[in-house]
């Protein structure tokens, strides 16, 4: 019996309804495709997928679970249907866990009839789960990366057609999710790489700054110069308009502002501040760097001191100076060049790095200063020994002329003796001034134009007294007797020291010959004796301080002083000696005044330093 045919109008309406449903599905599939290809974070992508899949599958809600990296759990932060929370399931637990473990699709018309279903969630939320469609999501290598689960299809259980549609969507979603994860992983790694590059560049810049500071500080000797250069460098690097460095000094450990720069810097320098007082004192006492962008409101700020100086900073940085656990003081920078920003943590970090380098530079400068002071004291001791050594000659001459004066009744002759004595006192005074100048950190030559014939006359007059009673014959041959440039008093000391050594080498008598001549641009002085010669053990040590061999009352200073004076004159000294024949010293000095010796109108500083 044939089935009755449907009413054509009713059939048309049915087909039109089917067509509208398919068009709606097609539109939703297109929306899902657009959602999967749209940029954005993973959470937003999952939310879009669930929203569209829920509508397309005509379900109450949908949940998308992703597999953790270790493959032991499923997690979801997107739950369509009213709740947004993170859910975690162990693989194998519940319907979704079973699908993740087995890789099979599950379509359950009645959830409560399936033993794998866990109704605890329904009991907590009051929701009633009826039908479930759950299937795995696989990437393009076929590996499971998660699970899609939809609940409660409207109008009945899920169909085979629903399975096919959800399977297609799950595959597309899996690829999009994996691409999104990979993309954001690459972005995160790029961000981390950029940050690492930034930190590396920052660290490189910091190391370059510290290297530059150390290289610059190593060239300086004076502590105050080190402090001033450090402060200026810190101000330039951080961008500050003023600053100061305070060091602990004295038995009480007070902070003394040793250097200051910027407005009112001259007023600040030299001020004293007890440890712990003011922001600088607090930083030094607490060993803690500090940034204060409103000092007027900070209780540690010394308002009275600021008023006394006449300068109130808008903002400041301060860092302690610490070396080997000892607080040396603090460095303070005032008023950022960027008035709107002020100082920040990066500025404080940079100042703290500079403070660490500054602390080491201060320690090095202090050590250098201590060594120089010790060296100067040692040099003063050596110089005093030399002066005492050289006092013998003028004192002997003064004594000799004084005895002659006592025996002389002629006024004119007595005046001549007085003149010679006064010359020796002038020499004694010059020696005293030299020691005092060196003690002040100065070492001077008084280079003047010298008429050599007059100089030789004075040498002759003095050495005749030196050799009196010693059976030593003095001979002077002035091949050149014109003009020369040197410190006359110091060159007299050279002649006396060489002559005294010669007399000690000619205990049985002999001759001492002085010859002057000009060779090219040099004045050459030769001093030849007929003594015993220089002992072999003194070879190479003759001009060393305290080097002596077998001489009675010998100090080992005479020839060392000679060498020093000749060197100061930019000259050279050499000798030749033969045992039993004698010794000849040859000194070569610039005949014209060297430019390095400066203006002849005053003393010439050749070495040493002045604080």
Q: pLDDT digits over 516-545, tens only?
A: 999 989 999 999 999 998 887 777 778 876
Rounded to 5 degrees, φ, ψ at 609 are -150, 165
Res. 4: pLDDT tops 60: no
Average pLDDT, the chain: 78
Which alpha helices (H) appear in 42-159, and where do they start and end? 42-56, 94-102, 120-125
- Give Cα 172 to chain centroid, integer Å: 58
pLDDT tier at 330 (50, 70, 90 boundaries)? very high
**Higher per-residue pLDDT: 412 or 567:** 567
Mean pLDDT score, 317-332:
89
Contact 62, 148 (CB under 8 A): yes
**What torsion, rounded to 10 degrees, do the Cα atoms 504, 505, 507, 512 define?**
-90
Please give the pLDDT value at position 473.
94
Among candidate residues 453, 457, 492, the one with its CA nearest the CA of residue 474: 457
pLDDT at 73 over 50: yes
Look at residue 234 and tell me whether its pLDDT is greater than 60.
yes
Q: Is the pLDDT of residue 501 over 50?
A: yes
Give the model's pLDDT for residue 606: 35
pLDDT at 249 (0 to 100): 84
- What distance in Å separates the CA atoms of residue 267 and residue 250, rounded to the nearest whole number? 21
Most confident of 28-32, 59-63, 397-401, 441-445: 59-63
Distance CA 13, CA 8 (A): 9
Question: Does the pLDDT of residue 333 top 70, yes or no?
Answer: yes
pLDDT for res 393: 64
The larger pLDDT score, comparing residue 219 to residue 277, is at 277
Q: Which two three-digit tokens encode residue 338? A: 């960027």
Cβ proximity of 479 and 515 under 8 Å: yes
- The β-bridge relationship of strands 240-249 and 144-153 is unpaired
Distance (Å, rounded) from C-alpha 87 to C-alpha 46? Answer: 14
By three-state DSSP, how is residue 419 classified? helix
In this prediction, what percent of the chain has a pLDDT beyond 70? 73
DSSP letter (8 states) at residue 553:
T
Query: Measured between alpha carbons, how far apart are the two ends of the chain, in Å?
Result: 130
**Which band of pLDDT confidence, cut at 50, 70 and 90, is reported for residue 583?**
very high
pTM of the shown model: 0.38
Token couple for 243 = 């600053």
Whether the per-residue pLDDT at 85 is higher than 70: the answer is no
Helix (H, G, I), strand (E, B) or coil at 268: helix
Whether pLDDT at 2 is above 60: no
Question: What domains can you pick out in the chain, each with its CATH number?
Answer: 18-185 (3.30.450.40), 223-370 (3.30.450.40), 441-608 (3.30.565.10)
Q: How would residue 161 be classed by pLDDT, with cut points 50, 70 and 90?
A: confident
Inform me whether the pLDDT recorded for 472 exceeds 70.
yes
Q: Residues, the chain, total?
A: 611
Q: 383 versus 112: which is more confidently predicted?
A: 112
Mutual angle of helices 160-217 and 345-390, in 10-degree steps = 20
Angle between helices 558-568 and 488-504 (to 10 degrees): 150
Q: How would residue 118 be classed by pLDDT, with cut points 50, 70 and 90?
A: confident
């Amino acid at each position: 019996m044939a089935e009755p045919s449907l009413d054509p109008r009713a059939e048309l309406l049915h087909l039109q309804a089917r067509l509208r449903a398919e068009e709606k599905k097609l539109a939703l599939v297109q929306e899902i495709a657009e959602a999967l290809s749209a940029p954005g974070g993973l959470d937003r992508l999952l939310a879009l997928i669930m929203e569209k899949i829920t509508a397309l599958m005509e379900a109450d809600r949908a949940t998308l679970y992703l597999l953790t990296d270790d493959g032991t759990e499923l997690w979801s932060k997107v739950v369509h249907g009213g709740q947004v929370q993170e859910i975690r399931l162990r693989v194998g637990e519940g319907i979704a866990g079973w699908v993740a473990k087995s890789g099979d699709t599950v379509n359950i018309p009645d959830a409560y009839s399936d033993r794998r279903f866990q109704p605890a969630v329904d009991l907590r939320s009051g929701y009633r789960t009826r039908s479930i469609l759950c299937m795995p999501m696989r990437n393009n290598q076929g590996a499971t990366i998660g699970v899609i689960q939809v609940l409660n299809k409207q109008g009945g259980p899920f169909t085979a057609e629903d399975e096919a549609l959800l399977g297609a969507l799950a595959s597309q979603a899996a690829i999009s999710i994996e691409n999104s994860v990979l993309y954001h992983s690459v972005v995160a790694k790029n961000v981390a790489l950029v940050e690492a590059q930034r930190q590396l560049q920052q660290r490189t810049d910091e190391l370059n700054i510290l290297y530059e500071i150390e290289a610059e500080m190593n060239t300086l000797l004076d502590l105050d110069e080190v402090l001033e250069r450090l402060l200026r460098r810190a101000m330039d690097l951080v961008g500050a308009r003023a600053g100061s460095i305070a060091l602990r000094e004295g038995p009480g450990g007070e902070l003394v502002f040793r250097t200051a720069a910027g407005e009112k810097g001259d007023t600040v320098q030299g001020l004293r501040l007890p440890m712990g007082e003011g922001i600088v004192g607090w930083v030094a006492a607490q060993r803690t760097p500090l940034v204060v962008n409103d000092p007027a409101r900070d209780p540690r700020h010394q308002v009275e001191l600021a008023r006394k100086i006449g300068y109130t900073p808008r903002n400041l940085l301060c860092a302690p100076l610490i070396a080997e656990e000892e607080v040396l003081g603090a460095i303070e920078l005032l008023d950022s060049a960027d008035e709107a920003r002020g100082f920040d943590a990066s500025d404080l970090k940079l100042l703290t790095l500079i403070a660490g380098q500054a602390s080491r530079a201060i320690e090095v400068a202090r050590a250098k200063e201590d060594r120089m002071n010790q060296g100067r004291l040692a040099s003063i001791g050596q110089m005093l020994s030399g002066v005492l050594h050289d006092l013998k000659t003028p004192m002997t001459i003064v004594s000799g002329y004084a005895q002659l004066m006592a025996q002389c009744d002629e006024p004119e002759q007595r005046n001549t003796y007085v003149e010679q004595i006064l010359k020796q006192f002038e020499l004694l005074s010059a020696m005293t001034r030299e020691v005092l100048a060196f003690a002040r950190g100065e070492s001077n030559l008084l280079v003047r134009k010298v008429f050599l014939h007059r100089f030789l006359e004075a040498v002759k007059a003095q050495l005749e007294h030196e050799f009196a009673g010693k059976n030593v014959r003095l001979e002077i041959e002035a091949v050149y007797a014109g003009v020369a440039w040197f410190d006359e008093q110091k060159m007299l000391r050279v002649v006396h020291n060489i002559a005294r050594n010669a007399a000690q080498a000619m205990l049985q008598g002999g001759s001492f010959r002085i010859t002057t001549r000009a060779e090219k641009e040099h004045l050459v002085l030769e001093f030849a004796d007929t003594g015993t010669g220089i002992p072999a053990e003194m070879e190479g040590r003759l001009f060393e301080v305290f080097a002596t061999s077998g001489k009675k009352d010998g100090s080992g200073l005479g020839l060392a002083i000679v060498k020093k004076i000749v060197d100061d004159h930019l000259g050279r000294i050499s000798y030749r000696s033969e045992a039993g024949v004698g010794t000849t010293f040859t000194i070569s000095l610039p005949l014209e005044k060297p430019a390095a010796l400066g203006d002849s109108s005053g003393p010439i500083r050749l070495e040493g330093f002045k604080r």
